[in-house]
Amino acid sequence: IPVVHGEALQDVRYEKAEGEGIAKITINRPEKRNAFRPQTTEEMMRCFSDARDDPDVGVVILTGEGAQAFCSGGDQSVRGEGGYVGPDKIPRLNVLDLQVQIRRLPKPVIAMVAGYAVGGGQILQMMCDITIAADNAVFGQTGPKVGSFDAGYGSTQMVRLVGQKKAREIWFLARLYNAQQALEMGLINTVVPLERLEEETLVWCREILRNSPTALRVLKAALNAAEDGQAGIQELGGNATLLFYQTEEGNEGRRAYLEKRPPDFSKFPRFP
Ligand code: 1HA
């Protein structure tokens, strides 16, 4: 059993393609259509954290085991009052933390979707930067049928992807949509035959991996920035600091402080 950040994984598989720059996180509960329970989500967060920290990883694939489902959302059989309950008996909505983690991860995250992506699973798919779907993929919200809703990114990100009318249709009617329909409404990036899903996903990953990691990182932050308010600006701003710390000008300040002398910024240009 692979151990990530100290503990063994049960609900999730985590793989890295040696020398490729690709990490893959697979929700591994096919008997439940890859529904997540608190443990699943916690394990996914550990994997995403590892993928973020690993300098050899440039792209992360998120997928579900088998061809029947990407993810069917929260596991309704462990839903208690106030959230989804694990062995510690504490009700949790910790998938919300996972959504934020995917959003903030400074590397592209690609959803590779076969079968059902519904409920909280469809929202995870929306949080990913790119979605490659198999022709058997099915998308939709079931929340209003099972007494749930996602009024966070599940609503705000949805409306940005598909527009107001369609977002209201998806949430109010709780219908299911096929891959072609999802493509037409802007929920996903492309549709491929199921047997070519992994191959096509790797093509997209390798194309991304050829590009400047810093450009990708700043672009992801930039594309998030306005939508995410102060948190979005903080993410984008952090990249400015990261780049500034790599300049002579930034380091003059640090050196002067450590050498107990006044900083000399006179040689640095003031660009128009
Ligand atoms: O809205 C939120 C949140 C909002 C805010 C904050 C946090 C949130 C966290 C989560 C969620 C949600 O995700 S709410 C939405 C929860 N998900 C659903 O309502 C989907 C329920 N599942 C289905 O509609 C269908 O199973 C399916 C369309 C995905 C697949 O249908 P299919 O192929 O006909 O298979 P089915 O026979 O229904 O399912 C196979 C097995 O998997 C069944 O178990 P079995 O009878 O064999 O013992 C089924 O019960 C189980 N299963 C599937 N999905 C779930 C599930 N068990 C528990 N929870 C599931 N989500």
Residue nearest to atom 23 of ligand 1 (CA): 72
- Quote ipTM for the complex: 0.99
Is residue 53 within 8 Å of residue 105, measured between CB atoms? no
Going by their DSSP bridges, the two strands 190-192 and 130-134 should be labelled as: parallel
Atom of ligand 1 nearest to the CA of 73: 13
CA atoms within 13 A on the CB side of 127: 27
Q: Ligand 1 centre from 73 Cα, in Å?
A: 6
Of all protein residues, whose CA lies closest to atom 7 belonging to ligand 1? 93
State the 10-residue block means of pLDDT for the chain, 272 residues long: 77 94 98 98 98 98 98 98 96 98 98 99 98 98 97 98 98 98 98 98 98 98 97 98 98 98 97 95
Expressed in angstroms and rounded, the spacing between residue 210 Cα and the centre of ligand 1 is 38
Q: How far apart are CA 271 and CA 90, in angstroms?
A: 55
pLDDT at site 252: 98
Q: How many CB atoms lie within 10 A of CB 172?
A: 10
- Phi, psi for 265 (deg, rounded to 5): -95, 10
- Give the β-pairing of 138-140 and 176-178: antiparallel
Nearest CA owner, ligand 1 atom 25: 72
| 16 exposure class (CB count in 10 Å sphere: 0-12, 13-18, 19+) | middle
DSSP result, 53-71: H-TT--EEEEEESSSSEEE
Are 222 and 233 within 8 A, CB to CB?
A: no
Q: Which residue's CA is the closest to the ligand 1 atom numbered 32? A: 33
Residue 22 belongs to what H/E stretch?
strand 22-27
CA nearest ligand 1 atom 51, residue? 32
For 89, residues 6+ apart whose C-beta sits below 8 A from its C-beta are none
81 neighbors 64 (Cβ within 8 angstroms): no
With a pLDDT cut of 70, the percent of the chain lying above it is 99
Ligand 1 shell residues, CB under 6 Å: 32-33, 35, 69, 72-77, 93, 95-96, 116, 118-120, 142-143, 146, 148-150
Ligand 1 centre to CA of 134 (Å) is: 20
Q: What is the 3-state secondary structure (H, E, C) of 176-211?
A: EEEHHHHHHCCCCCEEECHHHHHHHHHHHHHHHHCC
Question: What does the buried/exposed string (b/e) look like for 192-207 if buried means 16 or more CB atoms within 10 Å of the residue's CB?
Answer: beeeebbebbbebbee
Nearest atom within ligand 1 for CA of residue 75: 59
Q: Using CA of residue 113, residue 193, residue 61, residue 242, what is the dihedral sign?
A: negative
Q: Which atom of ligand 1 is found nearest the CA of 116?
A: 29
pLDDT in tens, 79-122: 999 999 999 999 999 999 999 999 999 999 999 999 999 999 99
- The neighbour count for residue 231, using CB atoms within 10 Å, is 14
CA distance 123 to 71: 10
Pocket test for ligand 1, best of 11, 28, 33, 92 (most atoms within 8 A of CB): 33
Residue 152 alpha carbon, nearest atom of ligand 1: 5
